[in-house]
Amino acid sequence: MAAYDSGLHAWFQQYFVVSGRLPLLSFLLGLLGAFIGIRVSVRLIRAEARWWPGNVRLGGLHVHHVVFGVVFMVTAGVAGFVVPDGMTVWRTALAVLFGIGTGLVLDEFALLLHLEDVYWTERGRISLDAVFAVVALSTMVLMGLRPLGPYGWWASGREESVTRFVLAVAGALLLVVVTLLKGKTWTGLVGIFWPPLLVVGALRLGRPRSPWARRRYGTRHPGKQARAEARERRLRVPMVAAKVRVQELVAGRHDLPDPVPAPPRRARGCPPRLPRAAARPWSGRGTRQRSGRWIYEQNRLSAVKSVCAHNGGGAPPMT
């Protein structure tokens, strides 16, 4: 048993500490721990467990956990510039803190994207997609994979290797763009680490409602549009259904309806129809003069129009 522990310790030292992967491992563990912990918390809150403390409130304000995530990320990021590289324990702790903050922020990614509380709605699933994507990419980097080609080209000082590397990166980025335009997000992300997958994603049919399909299929090529829709029903729909089941098992059911936006309430100072500024007075020589009163009225009406247009006739803009 002691020999096994010694071998495991030696493997950990060689694979994570010596190779410099320990901060990334700490970040990934912090992210997963925060995501799992916050999902357990919100599910208990939704189940109205009496013994659970519930949401954090300051007065009547509900403080979302994305706020704590931002604070943790900023704290860990700034401290990371201060702590020397040789202080492994402190840098590992900061990596864990940064991972915790990232997990809290990504768990409410839908809130940041829509600027609405869509946590338990269908649109809230994008938060889970963001967490899964970051975890997958971080795991691939932790396994030693490097994006966009062999890592050894970076270390080589030969000019022909640098040229080959630049051409390979440019070609891979082009394939990534085409693959993402075809609506194949996961193929594009994973293909960054395994470029042959990008070739498959760029050559095959795009998804029927992707930007690529809207531009190049439809009425222009109805046959391709029909094949893309058939392929979507045959392959994509079962895969998405399986993914949703896994997400609901991990994070809970997103079954609330999307919030209906309230009609805008016209703020004080926003009349139904804004008046026009008075015409500039004549100077008597066939031209109009800019009096101080006229300039003041123009500036005041421009400010009122800007506020009302920014808020749709609602409350004053956020500052």
The tens digit of pLDDT for each residue in 66-94 reads 999 999 999 999 999 998 888 888 999 99
Residue 315: predicted pLDDT? 44
Across 157-161, 177-181, 258-262, least confident range: 157-161
Chain-centroid distance, C-alpha 41: 22
Residue 307: predicted pLDDT? 58
Residue 232's contacts (CB-CB under 8 Å, 6 or more residues apart) are: 207, 208
Across 160-174, 185-199, 300-314, least confident range: 300-314
DSSP code at position 58 = E
For residues 118-144, average pLDDT: 90
Helices 125-142 & 237-251 angle (0-180, nearest 10): 90
For residues 175-183, average pLDDT: 91
For residues 154-170, average pLDDT: 66
Distance CA 114, CA 131 (A): 17
- For the record, the structure tokens of 43 come out as 């599910």
Tens-place pLDDT, residues 41-62: 999 998 888 898 888 888 888 8
Across 125-129, 131-135, 168-172, least confident range: 168-172
Residue 3: predicted pLDDT? 57
Most confident of 18-32, 151-165, 250-264: 18-32
Residue 309: predicted pLDDT? 58
Label residue 186 by pLDDT band (50, 70, 90): confident
For residue 69, give Cα distances in angstroms to 110, 125, 185, 250.
14, 19, 26, 20
For residues 26 and 19, which has the higher predicted lDDT (pLDDT)?
26
Residue 306: predicted pLDDT? 62
- How many residues in the chain? 319
For residues 71 and 273, which has the higher predicted lDDT (pLDDT)?
71
Across 110-124, 153-167, 243-257, least confident range: 153-167
Residue 152 has pLDDT above 50, yes or no: no
Residue 170 has pLDDT above 70, yes or no: yes
